[in-house]
Amino acid sequence: MANILILDDDHEICETMESLITRLSHECDHAHTLDEGLKLARKNVYDVIFLDVRLPDGNGLDILPDLMAFTDPPEVIILTGQGDPDGAELAIKGGVWDYLLKPSSVREISLTLGRALKYRGEKAGKSEGRSLDLSSVVGASPSMKASFKLLAQAAGSDSNVLITGHTGTGKELFASTIHDNSKRRGGRFVVVDCAGLTESLLESTLFGHRKGAFTGAQSDRTGLIKLADGGTLFLDEVGELPLSMQKTFLRVLQEHTFRPVGDTREQTSDFRLVAATNRDLDEMVDRGQFRSDLLFRIKTMRIHLPPLVDRPEDIRALTRFRVGRLCEQYGMEEKNYASDFFAILESYDWPGNVRELFNILERAVVAAGEEKTLYGMHLSRSLRIRVAKSQIKRMTGAEVTDEDGYPEADPGVRKIGQEIFEDIFDRELPTLREFKGVAEKVYLGELIRQSGGDLAGILKVSKLSRSHFYSLLKKYDLSL
């Protein structure tokens, strides 16, 4: 007996569906809004959710990430009266089981429900007793949880995998985690940096060569493909693979045979391929820069790693993970964190993604040394200046006047604020009267941060009265 939720604003459809499901000996609940449905889904464990797209308080597809982030996510069947091809694509990408149009026959609904429950049962059976080692990958956001589920599927199979994502999102780490959790973990994880090899060296690097095959070949060399025999071959930045090499590698991928440079005999290699790229390979195919047949081969499974700016909720977990490793590496005691440390990290957009975050954190740990707590002051000056400038830019978007009637969006005032923040970390904060217009709110925020919320220190530095200070806190919606 399964537990089913119907999320639809049509009361008649809910009654009809509930009658059908109870006749099939399953338990059934219903909800008519997204908010009500999410509350039920968080409170109860459902095997299947029938989800309408157009609901009074939003689009049903918007809650798919929340549903898929559950520890035991339900199978979702979209049931809608709106025929929307783009919506169907988004739903399937979001992990739904099926996409049915109203009106659907009782037989069609019953068959779809039966298949979804059978799939769910088989999936649960496969996962029993299988635990993954995810100690090297960190993330609790819905998008990362979805990636972890695909990682688990990839680890349990021997299919080719394509990992996509911006530079610095951790594609190689994901690939090695797949290898470490696969049946090939006893073999080697061999990395090929396609962007770091010239076209002339790529063939001998992949296939190896015999002594005398070309100038400089003074001895036999085993290629990386052979080294990956019984293990995993990781092609990093596969989009940089030259077209001339793509055809050759396609044959190797199909037959698992190759010929070293200068040799007449073919060799075999039983490798599993995992590839990664930060480029849009589909677009490259359209431009004739990447072979479509090779793309079909390498993307049997596809895992996308989102940029860090799209998952800010992971910053704290990533920080604790990285700092913990660094303290262990440097023989330091575990660090504590001041609130302003995370506030700065979470105010930055991280164009370099996790790689940039980890580099910044290492510099902060080194700067802190044996100090027990990491403060914002331990972060690099360049990062703090960029965050401060972005805050000023956001603040100057609207025409606002201060208590003296000075326009906060005035270019001259904006320039003053920027100049002050250029060197704000090199000297004591100025008095509030020096910090006109747009800088007032930024001044107060920085004042609170540097004083650690100590009221006496704040009043001493700013020369404000207690009542005036609290009125400014209320004006700018700030708190100690």
Model confidence over 39-59: pLDDT tens digits?
Answer: 999 888 899 999 988 888 888
H-helix or E-strand spanning residue 272: strand 272-277
Q: Which CATH number fits domain 312-475: 3.30.70.580, 1.10.8.60, 3.40.50.300, 1.10.760.10?
A: 1.10.8.60
Q: Give the DSSP letter string of 408-444.
A: TT-HHHHHHHHHHHHSTTTSPPPPGGGS-TTHHHHHH
Residue-wise pLDDT for 60-108, tens only, equals 888 888 888 787 789 999 877 665 555 566 667 667 878 887 777 888 8
Residue-wise pLDDT for 153-191, tens only, equals 899 899 999 999 999 999 999 999 999 999 999 999 999
Q: What is the mean pLDDT of the chain?
A: 83
Is-same-fold flag (3-127; 312-475)? no
Residue-wise pLDDT for 201-212, tens only, equals 888 889 988 887
Q: What is the pLDDT of residue 189?
A: 97
d(CA 454, CA 472): 16
Q: What is the pLDDT of residue 87?
A: 58
Residue-wise pLDDT for 113-166, tens only, equals 988 898 888 776 655 445 788 888 998 887 888 888 889 889 989 999 999 999
Q: Which CATH number fits domain 3-127: 3.40.50.2300, 3.40.50.720, 1.20.90.10, 3.20.20.70?
A: 3.40.50.2300
Q: What proportion of the chain, given as a percentage, has pLDDT over 90?
A: 43
d(CA 339, CA 100): 48
Q: What is the pLDDT of residue 419?
A: 47
d(CA 308, CA 348): 10
Q: How far is CA 78 from CA 105, 220, 292, 315, in A?
A: 14, 59, 32, 33
Q: Report, as an integer, the average pLDDT of 313-330.
A: 94
Q: What proportion of the chain, given as a percentage, has pLDDT over 70?
A: 86
Please check whether residue 461 is in contact with residue 451, taking contact to mean a CB–CB distance below 8 angstroms.
Answer: yes
Q: Is the pTM above the cut of 0.85? A: no
Q: Report, as an integer, the average pLDDT of 331-343.
A: 92
Helices 411-422 and 439-451: crossing angle in degrees, nearest 10, is: 20
d(CA 48, CA 368): 51
Q: What is the pLDDT of residue 314?
A: 94
Q: Report, as an integer, the average pLDDT of 442-457.
A: 80
**Between residues 415 and 438, the one the model is more confident about:** 438
Q: What is the pLDDT of residue 142?
A: 79
Banded pLDDT at 358 (limits 50, 70, 90): very high
Instruction: Classify residue 401 by its DSSP letter.
Output: B
What kind of fold does domain 142-306 have according to CATH? Rossmann fold (3.40.50)
Q: Report, as an integer, the average pLDDT of 231-235.
A: 97
Give alpha helix (H) positions in 44-181: 64-68, 85-93, 106-127, 142-155, 171-180
Burial grade of 11 (CB within 10 A; 0-12, 13-18, 19 or more): exposed
Least-confidence region, from 11-25, 185-199, 366-380, 382-396: 382-396
Domain boundaries, the chain: 3-127, 142-306, 312-475
Q: Give the DSSP letter string of 163-175.
A: EE--TTS-HHHHH
Q: Report, as an integer, the average pLDDT of 245-251.
A: 92
d(CA 20, CA 25): 9
Residue-wise pLDDT for 381-427, tens only, equals 889 888 887 777 666 543 434 444 444 434 443 443 444 455 444 45
